[in-house]
Amino acid sequence: MVTLLNVEDARRLARRRLPRGLFEYLDRGTEDEVSIAGNRAGLDAIRLAPFALEDVSQRAQDTVLFGTPQPCPLVIAPTAVAGLMSYDGEVAMARAAKAHDIPFCVSTQSMTSIETIARDSGARLWFQLYVWKNRARTFALLDRAAGAGADTLVLTVDTAVSPKREYNQRNGFGIPLKPSVRAGIDVLCHPRWFADVFLRTLRTTGMPTYAHYPDEFRTALGRAVVGDEISLATDVSWKDVAALRAHWKGRLILKGILRASDATRAIAHGVDGIVVSNHGARNLDCAPHPAHVLPAIVAAAGGRLTVLADSGVRRGSDIAKYLALGADGVLVGRAPLYGLAAAGTPGASRVIELLRAELDTTMALLGVTRLDQLPRTLQMEA
Ligand code: FNR
């Protein structure tokens, strides 16, 4: 694992290992990918100014998120079909989270059920929700998540419809996996993935599928057929937030907030936290970068809820930047997924280790010893 010296190393390895269709699904954005570049530019433009001659011999990056102490300010973001990135990918990722004592957020669209992930990893789990058209089925899913021990529900609010990702169509990539000549050649060019991930999954658990989808929506092949009842609901509104708040006993987070007014509305609905996020530039291509809107949202929140941020984190200094802008914690999506695709649990764990080490170096060079000192390093524009 020493060979992985940064997130980009893991990305390169992931690109080699995964079929092109799968890698592009992991790596790319939507439409013209303007916000992919924007996420990078947004973080790169931020400057943190060091304090000279501070004693930084005792540094700590531990924090408390939602009342629970954790050794670093990271959460592993929900990512659909992580189970295709490496064998038993969701469990492998949860084990990496467990190794670092940070939460892993299980996606509605994961390939392994939250019950199995909980049993096989022992990790602290959050559950991410895409609301289905059939609300009764949606609530039944939430009860499963609570029963499996998820203490935090993350409602994704930025995905009313599936975004336009033309490369998926060109690559013939989609869930359920559809056989095509192009996808077949792609897979045959990656025999190691085919044997280690696909065939092994087929042998042990059957055809890869969305594990949380009800059985009656599966074909004989075991593939999920997205029936109307469990397709994405396009009418999700604040009424659903109120209903979820009444139903869900644990903490409730809204993921994908990009406006101060929505943060204020979230507070009025009794929400515990928000994730300021543009979904890693994977949905609305003209969305703002979280770094641009974060300070106004933090000001509107006024400490009344926990503010997390994500999108574009590839270095420990990116984490420092989000924290300097006022976030309480940071989610990472692609970075650990690259590690997972590169080398399973050790790969994902190595990426988290690298990010933590880079955050530590950044703090030392900035002359700060605790995370709550980061906001004062922010270099304001002249
Ligand atoms: C995601 N993301 C995501 N978000 C969500 O709420 N539910 C989901 O199922 C998924 N699926 C998903 C798949 C893949 C392959 C990626 C890369 C991302 C978005 C994710 O939670 C997070 O917001 C972004 O990944 C953050 O940006 P970075 O860290 O990837 O730049």
Phi, psi (5° rounding) for residue 115? -60, -45
How far is the C-alpha of 31 from the C-alpha of 165, rounded, in Å?
Answer: 6
pLDDT of residue 381: 57
Instruction: Tell me the DSSP string of 80-148.
Output: TTGGGTSTTHHHHHHHHHHHHT--EEE-TT-SS-HHHHHHHH---EEEEEPPBS-HHHHHHHHHHHHHT
Whether 279 sits among the annotated catalytic residues: the reply is: yes
Ligand 1 center from residue 69 Cα (angstroms): 24
Ligand 1 center from residue 77 Cα (angstroms): 6
Q: How many helices (H) and strands (E) does the chain have?
A: 15, 10
Ligand 1 center from residue 205 Cα (angstroms): 24
pLDDT of residue 220: 47
Crossing angle for the helix pair 316-324 and 334-366, to the nearest 10 degrees: 70
Helix (H, G, I), strand (E, B) or coil at 251: strand
How far is the C-alpha of 108 from the C-alpha of 112, rounded, in Å?
Answer: 10
Contact between residue 255 and residue 155 where contact means Cβ atoms under 8 Å apart: yes
Mean pLDDT per segment of 10 residues, for the chain of length 382 residues?
Answer: 89 97 97 96 97 98 98 98 96 98 97 97 98 95 98 97 92 80 92 96 89 74 66 93 98 98 98 98 97 98 98 98 98 98 98 98 98 94 50
User: In this structure, which residue's CA is closest to atom 12 in ligand 1?
Assistant: 79
- Domain spans of the chain? 7-47+65-246+264-279+318-367
How far is the C-alpha of 53 from the C-alpha of 379, rounded, in Å?
Answer: 18
How far is the C-alpha of 178 from the C-alpha of 157, rounded, in Å?
Answer: 28
Question: What residues pair up with 274 in beta bridges, in sequence order?
Answer: 254, 307
Instruction: Tell me the DSSP string of 16-44.
Output: HHS-HHHHHHHH--STT-HHHHHHHHHHH
**CATH 3.90.330.10 is right for the domain spanning 7-47+65-246+264-279+318-367:** no
Q: Does the C-beta of 212 come closer than 6 Å to ligand 1?
A: no
Q: Which atom of ligand 1 is nearest to the CA of 39?
A: 31
Q: Does the C-beta of 77 come closer than 6 Å to ligand 1?
A: yes
164 is known to lie in a ligand binding site: no
How far is the C-alpha of 44 from the C-alpha of 374, rounded, in Å?
Answer: 17
How far is the C-alpha of 294 from the C-alpha of 102, rounded, in Å?
Answer: 23
pLDDT of residue 226: 64
Please name which of 381, 152, 163, 141 lies closest in space to residue 278, comparing C-alpha atoms: 163
pLDDT of residue 303: 97
- Measured in whole angstroms, the distance separating CA 240 from the mean position of its chain's CA atoms is 22
Q: Which amino acid is at 124?
A: R
